[in-house]
């Protein structure tokens, strides 16, 4: 098996050398041909120097271009079709990468499904993650144990067949790739792994990146199955129209008939938009 391992890195001088060394130790004796590509995303510290000293091939972004763009740059420079992504902060074990590799022979994408207290994180973040996962599963129609894990293996040739209109250059790249693969009908396997405490400081802005990820979810949902999103949106004003009509028939004081007609009209408008989007999708297909 030939494998290109891509590590996006931004100001990770404290952990990058250990990550590269752990990869080399884990891959030794596996019989696989592999390369380690570290994409230094405009770091202001010694990340590039540490990565080179550890034996990795380093690709330099002169300015910071984002997590997703770093992976895309790595894919453009990779020697092999099969690529793996791994974070530079030490939160993923290279031995788990070796553990999920055999599944890449049967599945288009293999994802390290994070477990443990470090993954669950703060009490308020965990319920939000559950709701986000539920929405992603509704859009894709597939169970997704972990939508944005940074440890995954997939084929570049399969990725290149996906629509690039939703390609994400930031931290939501992992979310985008997972949802695009599943929505497009590719097979995926999720292997439970232990998620470790990261070294250094996280670069993620949870509020900004969560909003961006939600935007991507809706974009991909509209692209692959617009009616799946439009029908619930159309159903809400339709239900309100029925409620308002019931209040009018019950003789309750108020402009319920007008509210009912307006709600019914809004439901029709939303449904009509959905039909237009569906026709655009069919024409595009």
pLDDT tens-digit series, residues 214-236? 777 777 777 777 888 888 899 99
The pLDDT confidence band at residue 126, using thresholds 50, 70 and 90, is: low
Mean pLDDT across the chain: 87
Secondary structure (3-state) at 34: strand
β-strands 188-194, 2-9: how paired? Answer: unpaired
Q: Which of 187, 205, 224 is the last residue in one of the domains?
A: 224
pLDDT of residue 169: 76
Indicate whether 72 and 157 sit together in one domain: yes
Tell me which H or E stretch contains 35: strand 33-41
Handedness of CA 24, 27, 32, 36 (dihedral sign): negative
* Furthest CA-CA distance within the chain: 81
Token representation of residue 64: 């910071």
Say whether pTM exceeds 0.95: no
Rounded CA gap, 21 and 46, in Å? 16
Neighbours of 60 (CB within 10 A): 12
201 and 175 in a common domain:
yes
pLDDT score, position 217: 76
Looking up residue 62, the CATH number of its domain turns out to be 3.90.550.10
Cα separation, 51 vs 36, in Å, equals 10
Residues 6+ apart with CB under 8 A from 92: 86, 112, 150, 151, 193, 195, 196
* Residue 160 shares a structural domain with residue 233: no
Which of 185, 204, 224 is the last residue before a domain boundary? 224
CA-based nearest residue to 87, from 211, 178, 199, 206: 199
**How much is the average pLDDT of 126-136?**
76
Same-domain check for residues 115 and 181: yes
168 confidence band (pLDDT: 50, 70, 90): confident
Residue 285 has pLDDT above 80, yes or no: no
Predicted confidence at residue 172, as pLDDT, reads 79
Poorest-pLDDT segment among 100-109, 206-215, 231-240, 260-269: 206-215
Select from 27, 14, 151, 146 the least CA-distant residue to 87: 151
Per-residue pLDDT of 239-253, as tens digits, reads 999 999 999 998 888
Q: What is the pLDDT of residues 67-96, one digit of tens each?
A: 999 999 999 999 999 999 999 988 999 999
User: Above pLDDT 70, what percent of the chain?
Assistant: 90
Give the residue from 224, 245, 260 where a domain finishes: 224
Both 95 and 151 in one domain: the answer is yes
Residues 28, 190: Cα–Cα separation, whole Å:
24
| In a shared domain, residues 164 and 235 | no
Q: Which pLDDT score, from 0 to 100, does residue 201 have?
A: 66
| Residue 186 near residue 144, CB atoms below 8 Å | no
Q: How far is it, in rounded angstroms, from Cα 92 to Cα 36?
A: 15
User: What are the tens digits of pLDDT across the range 190-203?
Assistant: 999 988 887 766 66
Burial 198-215 (b: 16+ CB within 10 A, else e): bbbeeeeeeeebbebbee
CB 87 within 8 A of CB 151: yes
Query: How many domains does the chain contain in total?
Result: 2
Give alpha helix (H) positions in the chain: 16-27, 47-53, 67-77, 94-100, 117-120, 125-140, 156-159, 173-183, 206-224, 226-249, 256-284
List the domain range (segments joined by +) for residue 261.
Answer: 226-284
């Amino acid at each position: 098996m030939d494998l290109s391992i891509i590590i996006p890195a931004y100001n990770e001088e404290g952990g990058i050398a250990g990550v590269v060394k752990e990869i080399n130790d884990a891959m030794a004796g596996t019989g696989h041909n592999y390369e380690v590509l570290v994409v230094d995303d405009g770091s202001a510290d010694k990340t590039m120097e540490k990565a080179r000293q550890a034996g990795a091939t380093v690709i330099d972004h002169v300015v910071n271009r984002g997590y997703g763009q770093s992976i895309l740059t790595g894919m453009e420079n990779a020697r092999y079709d099969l690529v793996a992504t791994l974070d530079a902060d030490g939160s993923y074990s290279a031995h788990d990468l070796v553990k999920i590799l055999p599944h890449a022979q049967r599945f288009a994408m293999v994802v390290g499904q994070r477990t443990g207290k470090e993954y669950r994180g703060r009490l308020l973040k965990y319920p939000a993650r559950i709701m986000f996962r539920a929405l992603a599963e509704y859009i894709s129609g597939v169970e997704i144990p972990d939508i944005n894990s940074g440890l995954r293996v997939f084929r570049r040739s399969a990725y290149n067949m996906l629509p690039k209109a939703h390609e994400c250059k930031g931290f939501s790249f992992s979310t985008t790739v997972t949802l695009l693969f599943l929505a497009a009908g590719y097979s995926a396997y999720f292997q439970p792994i232990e998620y470790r405490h990261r070294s250094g400081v996280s670069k993620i802005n949870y509020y900004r990146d969560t909003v961006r990820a939600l935007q991507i979810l809706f974009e991909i949902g509209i692209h692959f199955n617009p009616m799946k999103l439009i029908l619930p949106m159309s159903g809400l004003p339709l239900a309100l129209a029925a409620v308002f009509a019931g209040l009018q028939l019950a003789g309750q004081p108020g402009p319920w008939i007008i509210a009912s007609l307006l709600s019914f009209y809004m439901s029709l408008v939303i449904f009509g938009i959905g039909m237009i989007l569906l026709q655009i999708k069919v024409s595009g297909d």
